[in-house]
């Protein structure tokens, strides 16, 4: 039977299951980005060792590694200072 009031019938929040709960663990991998960044920096710097004669490739590899290093350092700084916010 429909009522004339404008109230919407809602279920309690505890009755609503998490849609992703059936797939298992839904957490994050907090150190994954840091590990991937460090791995990429090492891989880029390792690519400078080779049999190429030009130095332009080295400049791009070292520059990209430096940009990644700055990003990793900013990420580490933000993690350490997160509790202060």
Would 22 be classed as within a structural domain? no
**Range 25-37 average pLDDT:** 80
Q: Specify the number of domains making up the chain.
A: 1
Residue 7 domain flag = no
pLDDT at position 80 is 79
Kindly state whether residue 63 falls inside one of the protein's structural domains.
yes
Task: Give residue 74's pLDDT.
Answer: 93
Read off the pLDDT of residues 41-60 as tens digits, 9 standing for 90 and up: 999 999 999 888 888 999 99
Q: What is the token pair recorded at 24? A: 């298992």
Return the DSSP state at 8.
P
Name the more confident of 58 and 14: 58
Instruction: Provide the 3-class DSSP secondary structure of residue 45.
Output: helix
Residue 16 has pLDDT above 90, yes or no: no
62 pLDDT more than 90:
yes
Residue 38 counted as domain residue: no
Indicate whether 47 belongs to any domain. Answer: no
For residue 58, the enclosing domain spans 54-85
Domain assignment present for residue 37? The answer is no
In a domain, residue 8? The reply is no
């Amino acid at each position: 039977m429909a009522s004339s009031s404008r109230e919407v019938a809602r279920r309690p929040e505890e009755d609503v299951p998490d849609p992703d709960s059936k797939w298992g663990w839904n957490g994050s991998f907090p150190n994954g980005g840091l590990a991937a960044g460090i791995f990429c920096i090492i891989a880029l710097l390792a690519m400078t060792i080779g049999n190429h004669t030009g130095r332009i490739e080295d400049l791009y590899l070292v520059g990209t590694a430096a940009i990644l290093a700055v990003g990793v350092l900013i990420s580490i700084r933000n993690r350490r200072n997160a509790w202060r916010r």
